[in-house]
Structure 1
Amino acid sequence: MRKLIYAINLTIDGCFDHTKVIGDEAMLEYWTHVLREADLLVYGRITYQLMVPYWPDVAKNHSMAKAENDFADTFDSLDKVVFSRSLERAEDKKTRIVRTDLQDEILKLKQQEGRDILLGGVALPSQLIALGLVDEFLFVIHPVIAGEGKRLMEGIDLQERLQLRLVESKILKSGCVALRYLKQ
């Protein structure tokens, strides 16, 4: 069975706003490595529209530094599933929009052959965490205190506390710390 891995950048105070974190070469190299371990990305509409068409455009033009271009190429090569009731069409041919039941579709995806599934964003992952469908958590914590911003699990009630086990940690050159947790 494929693992569903929630992967996200956050500040020390738990903010998941992409404008509040550090975007440096070391972080992009780390995320490129993470992407290469998966073969499917799962997003909600908001996160999808933050990533596409930006990264596919970088992949086409190679208009950035090497780390950005490598990330863009890897991102662009992966299939994507977007859960949305309002997105009318996908920006690229590697994206499929899903409007059916979230839990049923994720269970189907996990049963398919393939490598890991990476999950990004905030609202959709919060729902999947509450449903108990996320197997692994990958947080890159940035040495920033944002003071404000959206946080994971806002408006979502967990039925019971979720216990995690740290299985890997890595300090990046920028001072960011990558933490990998398994659900117990």
Structure 2
Amino acid sequence: MGSLIYSMITSLDGYAIGPDGSSEFLDVDQEAHDFFAQQMTSFGTFLYGRRMYETMLFWETAHLDPDYPPFIADFARAWQAIDKVVYSRTLEDVASERTRIERSFEPEEVRAFVTASDLDVTIDGPELAAQAIRAGIVDEFQPIVGPVVAGGGTPFFPAGTTLALELLNEYRFASGGVWLRYRPTRT
């Protein structure tokens, strides 16, 4: 049985996207790419909203650019090997392999899919994740907190969210960021 994991790089003050639309809160260097690629070995599927999918499409061809260092190609290949589901009412076609479009996010269907999966499933993007958080189907939260204060934007957690969390693990990056792994406590 897989787990549904919500993970994104965030600012220190809790924003997944800054007021200018940026999400560059951490220097994603070789150490970070290697760490994230290792994390992806347990993932079977990425669940994306349209904007997150369009951001991540970079990885579909990044391995082809000879100017990038080898760790970029390694990460790209790891990303390409994972199935992707894009939730969008407007996206006509996908531009990556192993990808399908769903027109609506149905929490019960996602929960059944994750439960039936042998691998973990990630939900990426604060708007799509907000639907899963409100439905109570997220099994783990894995924010990567960067050493930046954004001052506003789109929060990692939707407004009004109240959760008690148990810290399961952490990893400190040399660049100043911290990966945190929490699970909601069930009472």
> Is this a same-fold pair by TM over 0.5?
yes
Contact 1:6/1:119 (<8 A) preserved: yes
Range moving further from structure 2, 23-32 or 55-64: 55-64
- The offset of 1:104, in angstroms, is 3.0
Q: 1:42 aligned to 2:47?
A: yes
Give the deviation of 1:171 after TM superposition. Answer: 0.9
Query: Against the structure 1 CA distance between its residues 150 and 122, is the aligned structure 2 distance closer, same or farther, given a 3 Å change threshold?
Result: same
Contact 1:9–1:139 under 8 Å retained in 2: yes
Given candidates 133, 137, 142, the residue that maps to 1:138 is 142
Q: How many pairs does the alignment contain?
A: 180
| SS of the residue 1:28 aligns to | helix
Conservation of the 8 A alpha-carbon contact between 1:123 and 1:153: no
Match of 2:30 among 11, 25, 29: 25
Partner of 1:150: 154
Letter in 2 for 1:21: L
Structure 2 counterparts to residues 153-164 of structure 1, below 5 A:
153-154=157-158, 156-158=159-161, 161-164=162-165
Kept after mapping to 2: 8 A contact 1:59/1:76: no
Q: Name the structure 2 match of 1:68.
A: 72
Alignment partner of 1:19: what SS? coil
SS of corresponding position for 1:88: coil
Give the match for residue 12 of structure 1.
Answer: 12
Q: Does 1:82 align with 2:83?
A: no
TM-score (norm. length: structure 2): 0.88
CA RMSD in angstroms comes to 1.7
Q: Could you tell me how far apart the structure 2 residues matched to 1:113 and 1:126 are?
A: 22
- The alpha carbon displacement at 1:64 in A equals 1.3
In 1, Cα distance between the equivalents of 2:183 and 2:66? 35
Give the partner amino acid of 2:70.
Answer: K
Which residue in 2 is equivalent to 1:92?
96
Does the CA-based 8 Å contact 2:88-2:101 persist in structure 1? Answer: yes
3-state DSSP class of the match of 1:12?
Answer: coil
2:40 maps to a residue whose letter is: L
For each residue in 1:139-176, what CA deviation from the matched residue of structure 2 results, as whole angstroms up to 9, or x when unmatched?
1111111223221344x544xx2111001011111111
TM-score, normalised to structure 1, is 0.90
Equivalent pair of 2:8/2:124 in contact (CA under 8 Å):
yes
**Alignment correspondent of 1:168:** 169
Q: Contact between 1:63 and 1:69, CA under 8 Å: does it hold in 2?
A: no
Structure 1 residue 57 and structure 2 residue 58: aligned? no
What runs of 5+ residues in structure 2 fail to find an aligned partner?
18-22
Structure 1 counterpart of 2:27, one-letter code? I
Cα distance change on mapping 1:94 and 1:60 into 2, 3 Å: farther
CA 1:101/1:121 → structure 2, altered by over 3 Å: closer, same or farther? closer
- Segments of 5+ residues of structure 1 without an aligned counterpart are none
- The offset of 1:101, in angstroms, is 4.4
Distance 1:176 1:162 in 2: 23
Partner-residue secondary structure (3-state), 1:110: helix
Range with bigger deviation, 120-129 or 97-106: 97-106
Cα deviation, residue 111, structure 1:
2.9
> Aligned equivalents of 1:12 and 1:120: distance in 2?
18
